[in-house]
Structure 1
Amino acid sequence: MSIIRIGIGGWTYEPWRGTFYPEKWAQKRELDYAAEHVTAIEINGTYYGSQKPATFASWAAAVPDGFVFTLKASRYCTNRKVLAETGESIAKFVGQGIVELGDKLGPILWQFMATKKFDADDFGAFLKLLPAKQDGIALRHAIQVRHESFAVPEFVALCRDVGVAIVYADSAEYPAIADVTGDFVYARLESAEERFVAGYAPHALDDWAAKAKLWAAGGRPEGLPYVTEAAPKKAARETFVFFINGAKVRAPQGAMALIERV
């Protein structure tokens, strides 16, 4: 079985103060605290603006060995009518200093708006623009699409050909694709409810723990929406599971509860 990393989106969120972070905990030490209780964090701020190399270096220094950050790619890369023309923006994003994270750099998440429809030629061109390395550091890429037009074998094949992972999102709002297309798995649990202490009912957490273990072992969980019948070669895969959106106030409790189960 490969490594299973479980985390939350960001670490600066006011409702977590006093519910996740202890009362009067210094805000400048919130990343330190979060990194002691989850094993990965998806950074959303990189979607809205670039960061300085020193900022990435400081994040890396604040977390323990083995911790991983995933980065949401800039909106200037994904919110385009013609994706084939985004090469310059992609280069700017990966060149801003993300390599300062070193071995704490996880996959880059390329998230598309729900209105973005599948265009095989344009999307295929975009996938080919995603760099395999930056300054000698290997890069991994995950794609989150949220329009039903992507649920076709051609899209799955495009991603599988270049080794880009399709994000599986547990969402009540958008269609999901569970086909495994990369050498890692990236799942986002977006349907948390505040009525549950951990965002999801205990039996649901048990089920996600079982799915995470199966993904990590190279398996194909049953009961998920697959586009194709063909499964990729069975091999251990690093697996990322994030509690994000939904009832965000419950996200840390959800992540910690899932960590206990796996």
Structure 2
Amino acid sequence: MSEVRIGTSGWSYDHWNGVCYPHGTPPARRLDHYVSRFDTVELNASFYRWPRDATFAGWRRRLPPGFAMSVKAPRGLTHGKKLYQPEVWIERIARCWHELGDRRAALLLQLPPSMERDDARLDYFLTHLPWWIRVAVEFRHPSWDDDAVYAMLERHQAAYCVMSGAGLPCVLKATAPFVYVRLHGPDHGHLYAGSYSDADLRWWADR
């Protein structure tokens, strides 16, 4: 049997008052209510500001057993450097991933729309990423849609991130032992499964 997890892109949204948590819930308690409803989450705030090591350790203590957190890679790595000379970021990510312990799910690597296909650069990054960090790669430029790219992901056991609503065709590909889907929606011309109080849904599954 495959294991399917469904979650959202964060847990602290003001307009969720009275929806996901009771009215008046202080921001510091919102995560407690979230984990009572979902068993995974994708942290998007890390894209804008990478958290400290101690923050990841704190999440490991707060998240219940069996909960899995995915984390979006920092824009300094993906949109600033565009994966060029990633060693410093890889070391920092690995250190934080260690602190997250058994609460970790996948590292989401979202490449910018301006980044055209560069097999050598992506292969270099995936080669140097520690094997124990599961990674899902989201491509935003159509030039990456190629069988050779999917084969590269398979070699590294990196998941192709299936997505909808990003202005690109929804390609249903499984390149790793797990599947990662991002439903940006709404986009009735592509894969779309609704929304939870206007929040983007995220899910990943072990195949």
Task: Give the corresponding residue for 2:72.
Answer: 72
Q: Does 1:91 align with 2:91?
A: yes
Unmatched runs of 5 consecutive residues or more in structure 2: none
Once the two structures are TM-superposed, the CA of residue 93 in structure 1 deviates from its matched residue by: 2.4
Task: Give the corresponding residue for 2:198.
Answer: 250
1-structure distance, mates of 2:23, 2:3? 32
Amino acid at match of 1:116: M
Q: Do 1:60 and 1:101's aligned partners in 2 also have CA atoms closer than 8 Å?
A: yes
Task: Give the corresponding residue for 1:161.
Answer: 155
Task: Give the corresponding residue for 2:124.
Answer: 125
2-structure distance, mates of 1:62, 1:192? 32
1-structure distance, mates of 2:140, 2:74? 17
What is the aligned-residue RMSD (CA, Å)? Answer: 2.4
Larger radius of gyration: 1
TM-score, structure 1 normalization: 0.69
Say which SS state the counterpart of residue 99 (structure 1) adopts. Answer: helix
Tell me which stretches of 4 or more aligned residues in structure 1 moved more than 3 Å.
Answer: none
2-structure distance, mates of 1:74, 1:248? 25
Cα 1:83–1:56 shift into 2, 3 Å: closer
Shifted more, 123-132 versus 178-187: the winner is 123-132
Once the two structures are TM-superposed, the CA of residue 110 in structure 1 deviates from its matched residue by: 0.6
Amino acid at match of 1:33: H
2-structure distance, mates of 1:82, 1:187? 22
Which of residues 174, 184, 189 is equivalent to 1:190? 184
CA deviation profile, 1:114-139 (whole Å, cap 9, x unmatched): 1111122222222212221xxxxx21
2-structure distance, mates of 1:166, 1:183? 11
Say which SS state the counterpart of residue 83 (structure 1) adopts. Answer: coil
Amino acid at match of 1:3: E
Cα 1:46–1:19 shift into 2, 3 Å: same
Task: Give the corresponding residue for 2:47.
Answer: 47
2-structure distance, mates of 1:103, 1:110? 20
Cα 1:82–1:28 shift into 2, 3 Å: closer
Amino acid at match of 1:175: P
TM-score, structure 2 normalization: 0.86
More helix by share: 1
Unmatched runs of 5 consecutive residues or more in structure 1: 133-137, 194-199, 206-242
Task: Give the corresponding residue for 1:103.
Answer: 102
Once the two structures are TM-superposed, the CA of residue 87 in structure 1 deviates from its matched residue by: 2.0
Say which SS state the counterpart of residue 155 (structure 1) adopts. Answer: helix
Task: Map residues 131-210 of structure 1 onto 2, 5 A cutoff.
Answer: 131-132=130-131, 138-192=132-186, 205=193
Q: Does 1:57 align with 2:57?
A: yes
Once the two structures are TM-superposed, the CA of residue 24 in structure 1 deviates from its matched residue by: 1.3
2-structure distance, mates of 1:116, 1:176? 19
2-structure distance, mates of 1:41, 1:111? 16
1-structure distance, mates of 2:89, 2:63? 29
1-structure distance, mates of 2:75, 2:3? 29
Task: Give the corresponding residue for 1:30.
Answer: 30
2-structure distance, mates of 1:21, 1:171? 27
1-structure distance, mates of 2:71, 2:170? 21
Amino acid at match of 1:128: T
